[in-house]
Amino acid sequence: MTSRVSTGTRPGARFAQFKLVLLGESAVGKSSLVLRFVKDQFDDYRESTIGAAFLTQTISLDDTTTVKFEIWDTAGQERYKSLAPMYYRNANCAVVVYDITQASSLDKAKAWVKELQRQANENIIIALAGNKADLVAEHPDKRAITTSDAEAYAREAGLLFFETSAKTAENVRELFTAIARKLPLEQAGARNMRSNPRQGVDLRPEAPGTQGGGACNC
Amino acid sequence: MESLSDTVWDVVLAGTGLAQSLLALSLSRSGKKVLHVDKNEYYGGLEAALSLQEAEIWAEAADEGAGSSPYRHATIKNLEREAPVQEADGALKLGFSRAYSLSLSPQLIYTRSNLLPVLVSSKVYRQLEFLAVGSWWIYENKDVTEGGQDGEGDARQGGLRRIPGGREDVFADKSIDLRSTRSLMRFLKLAADPETHMSILEEWGNRAFPDFLESRLSIPPRLQAPLLALTSSPHPPTETLTSYALPRIHRHLTSIGMFGPGFGAVVPKWGGLAEIAQVACRAGAVGGGVYVLKRGFESAEMPDLQASGRNSVRFDKDTGLSTLCLQGGEQIRSHWVVGSIWDLPLQIDQNPGDRMQTNYVARSITIVSGSLAQLFPSPAEGAPPPAGAVVVYPTGTLEPQSTDQTPGSSGLGLPPVYLIIHSSDTGECPAGQCVIYACSFHPTNADSHQILQVAVAKLVASVREDPPATVLWCMHYDQRYNLPATTEDYEANIRCDHFMNDHVLQLPDVVPGMALEDDVLKHVRAAYRRIVGDDDVAFMLFDDREGTGDDIDEN
Ligand SMILES: Nc1nc2c(ncn2[C@@H]2O[C@H](COP(=O)(O)OP(=O)(O)OP(=O)(O)O)[C@@H](O)[C@H]2O)c(=O)[nH]1
Ligand SMILES: [Mg+2]
């Protein structure tokens, strides 16, 4: 079995790439979390996602370990619900988002967790994110779901859990870093280790210095 | 919320097979409103990849799906239950259902395929992983092997012989005598040079390939078999024409070395062509396409449509809009409707015969314990480790020895049997196991499943493995396929004569052979041209989307 974690140019350096999917009801802040994580921005008037969006972000876990997320942000509107299977297929990790001021959004999140546990990879890492924490900081009465309730559910279902705010950036980096730390960097045999395809074939004939590409035909 | 019927769609795509998905990808930056539906609850259509559980459900539907799917006679055997499990070693047992991603389309993709440059130019290659297909093996019966001069073709090898991958291999092969080596070299040179093909084909094109090899190049029958194997011909040698064989051998030879030493074909990781179809659909969704699973069209067979005398697709000449009825009754309007014949609302059985030739191919998928490492030697120094291998059983190697009463064989022999073996590196099975995909174009014979089973059993038995490899699970089925109406006129092939409406296009099925053929993409491009107009220079030429570039060099 080949390792899909590549060693980089620096001695001992490791690089791994993982597929991450965001799921959750419309307007809970999935795209906002991604925007905060990838560009460190926030937008008060964000348009609802059509279909899906794809972004990448790389984080360093320590001096030698780099993790690249291939992020699929799906549309939460009911009309797009058929999309989810093609994004969680072979996903290594998922972030299921709800809005802590909307009780119904946690029900939807639980339904997604169930579907992931039934349909996605056996060892997918799932994180639950209760978003819009900034809203209750100002107006505690706006909270619809207590931290302890959500925490208890997350523990029971085996999920990572954070209350986040895309607006203030609270816990956003922490969320993605916690996922990265839990991913099987060492366990090269993991089936769903979708990381850098060093063992694979590079399709770009001009690719510099990679094995395969442009190799001599003699 | 806006319903599907409120929108006037530019394009409705029916089915999420490879061809429709590539069309969705090609339209993903066009600004066109695309609705992409599939009657199944999974993506991939005829190119889907299945878990064990999904395979059970699929087989049940395929077995009774006459008319709405190209499949028949699907059966699954779980042999693990029969064999006593001795040890705790997980690889000796079937894994979890979702540890498998069994491909209905395990075709290998030659490095010269027209698809690969398009996956690069459209940037979706960033989400795909490709693995090398290494060695091609040919099965030789004992008498032939023992008759050879080499000591290698012994019982341990069980009659498997590696097909030389190129000139160096031919020279290195001690079992080939000097004269034959010279003949083979002459052939390899000639096959690699397309300029000479024209004149050869003029004279030999319509004659059997073995005839050409023997009469023109004095290549003895024993050395013809490996060359025939490289053609992946569906027919026995006597029916394999030089016009069919030569271009395919040319493709094989010139593909080797293109993306690295020692291999000429690749397979996508995670379930064959299914993965490419899904990645293409994802791009379609990012481009704003709406995706709906479990929603096909009401077809003309539906009683209520028949009673009302309506066609399943109504065309309004003034607006140029087609109206179709989705399952569940929703009416949708679109400028274009594109799908495979299995997804468009037409009655299949009235269709073939006129323009299309209908055939069946017998196929099987087998999960074996054991890594079959012997089949995956490194083909050359510096080559990426192969995750795929090919084993060919030439005509004559699987026939019942004496009693040759097989109907249809008429002395010509059975067509060859082809096996593509995927190692666990493909992500299709747990580590320590392999998936063997078998096919033969001889389904009129009721024994064709039996023949595939024998081929797999012989392979498993001929590989040294400790503990010995065993079959854990297998599925057999027949797949009907329609060769496109023409070989050259892609515009004509996508016409759907069933409707008096030239805004309905049909994308021909991917032919279930050994290799993905270039016509799939050519049909997609023809459909793209019809939809966007003649100007197709931008076909599949996309920039990276913002925020997705290769922001870090993985080196
Ligand atoms: N106060 C506050 N508002 C937020 C936060 N995150 C998102 N929002 C707002 O909530 C609205 C919806 O956010 P999106 O990120 O578009 O939600 P989404 O989950 O991507 O929605 P869909 O794309 O429809 O599935 C936007 O107006 C955001 O500005 C947050 O942490 N705090
Ligand atoms: Mg969004």
b/e for B357-377, b at 16 or more Cβ within 10 A?
Answer: eebbbbbbbbbbbbbbebbbe
CA of B117 to the centre of ligand 2 (A): 32
Same-domain check for residues B138 and B219? no
pLDDT in tens, B311-350: 678 888 889 899 999 988 889 999 999 999 899 987 655 4
Q: How far is CA B248 from CA A22, A190, B478, B518, in A?
A: 45, 37, 25, 12
pLDDT in tens, B146-195: 444 444 444 334 589 899 877 777 777 777 788 888 888 899 889 988 88
For the whole model, what pTM was predicted?
Answer: 0.89
Q: Let me know whether B400 and B436 are in one domain.
A: yes
3-state SS assignment for residue B316: strand
Within an 8 Å CB–CB cutoff, is residue A121 touching chain B? Answer: yes
Q: From A197, which residue of chain B is nearest by alpha-carbon distance?
A: B129
Q: Which ligand is nearest to the CA of A25?
A: 1
Q: Residue B152 sits in a domain of what CATH number? A: 3.30.519
Q: Taking CB atoms and an 8 Å limit, are B261 and A216 in contact across chains?
A: yes
Residues in contact with ligand 1 (CB, 6 Å cut-off)? A 24, 26-32, 43-46, 48-49, 75-77, 131-132, 134-135, 165-167
**Buried/exposed B501-516: b ≥16 CB within 10 Å, e otherwise:** bebbbbbbbbbbbbbb
The DSSP call for residue B30 is T
Q: B484 phi and psi, to 5 degrees?
A: -55, 155
Residue B90, both tokens: 């997980």
List chain B residues with CB under 8 Å of A87.
Answer: 282
Q: Which chain A residue lies closest to B48 (C-alpha atoms)?
A: A86
Asked if the structure places residue B296 within a domain, the reply is yes
Task: List the beta bridge partners of residue B369.
Answer: B433, B470
Half-sphere exposure (CA, 13 Å, Cβ side) for B54?
Answer: 19
Instruction: Assess contact for B234 and B360: CB atoms under 8 A.
Output: no
| Residue B525 falls inside a structural domain | yes
Q: Tens of pLDDT along chain B (555 residues)?
A: 468 888 999 999 999 999 999 999 999 999 999 999 999 999 999 999 999 999 999 999 987 766 678 998 899 999 876 555 555 567 788 988 999 999 999 999 999 999 999 999 999 998 899 999 999 999 988 654 444 444 444 433 458 989 987 777 777 777 778 888 888 889 988 998 888 898 999 999 999 999 999 999 999 888 899 999 999 999 999 999 999 999 999 999 999 999 999 899 999 999 999 999 999 999 999 998 999 999 998 875 555 544 454 567 888 888 989 999 998 888 999 999 999 989 998 765 544 444 445 688 999 999 999 999 999 998 888 888 999 999 999 998 887 654 444 444 445 678 899 999 999 999 999 999 999 999 998 756 667 889 999 999 999 999 988 889 999 999 999 998 877 777 889 999 999 877 778 899 999 999 888 999 999 999 999 999 999 987 788 899 998 887 765 544 333
- Does B478 lie in the same domain as B445? yes
Q: Does A26 touch chain B (CB under 8 A)?
A: no
B154 and B196 share a domain?
A: no
Give residue A122's pLDDT.
86
Ligand 1 pocket, mutate which of A36, A38, A41, A46 (most atoms under 8 A from CB): A46
| B322 in the same domain as B387 | no
List of residues 6+ apart from B361 with CB closer than 8 A: B234, B439, B440, B441, B443, B478, B479, B481, B512, B513
- Residue with tokens 């031919």, as numbered in its chain: B170
Is the same domain home to B18 and B82? no
Q: What is the pLDDT of residue B192?
A: 87
Q: Residue B528 falls within a domain, yes or no?
A: yes
Domain assignment present for residue B182? The answer is yes
Clarify whether residues B463 and B416 are in a common domain.
yes
How far is Cα of residue B338 from the mean position of the Cα atoms in its chain? 21
Which of A82, A116, A196 is most worth mutating to test chain B (most B CB atoms within 10 A of its CB)?
Answer: A82
User: Do strands B290-292 and B34-37 pair parallel, antiparallel, or not at all (unpaired)?
Assistant: parallel
- Cα of A133 vs centre of ligand 1, distance in Å, is 12
Tell me: do B505 and B542 sit in the same domain: yes
Dihedral angle over CA of B203, B207, B211, B212, nearest 10: 30
Residue-level pLDDT at A51: 86
DSSP string, B465-516: -SSPPEEEEEEEEEEEEEE-S-SS-HHHHTB-TTSS-TTEEEPPPPP-SSB-
Residues B21 and B59 in one domain: no
Q: Domain residues for B476?
A: 55-99+130-163+356-484
B427 and B315, same domain (yes or no): no
Of B255, B290, B316, the residue that ends a domain is B255
Tokens in use for B374? 């012997």
Rounded-to-integer distance, Cα A179 and Cα A95, Å:
9
CA distance B258 to B31: 35
Task: Name the domain count of chain B.
Answer: 3
**What single-letter amino acid sits at B267?**
V
Domain end call among B484, B517, B534: B484
Tell me the count of A-B CB pairs closer than 8 A: 140
The Cα B259–Cα A202 span in angstroms is 7
Task: Output the domain CATH number for residue B28.
Answer: 3.50.50.60
Query: ipTM beyond 0.95?
Result: no
pLDDT in tens, chain A (218 residues): 223 455 445 556 778 889 999 999 999 999 999 999 999 999 999 899 988 899 999 999 888 888 999 999 999 998 888 999 989 988 999 999 999 999 999 999 999 999 999 999 888 999 999 999 999 998 999 999 999 999 999 999 999 999 999 999 999 999 999 999 999 875 433 333 334 444 788 887 554 443 333 333 33
A115–chain B Cβ distance below 8 A for any pair? no
Q: Is the preceding omega at residue B467 within 30 degrees of 0, hence cis?
A: yes
Here the CATH number for the domain that contains residue B232 is: 1.10.405
Cβ neighbours for B425, distance < 8 A, ≥ 6 positions apart: A1, A2, A199, B131, B269, B385, B387
CA pair distance B400, B386, nearest whole angstrom: 33
Radius of gyration of chain A (CA): 19
Mutate to test the interface with A, among B52, B128, B291 (most CBs of A within 10 A): B291
Q: What is the mean pLDDT of chain A?
A: 84
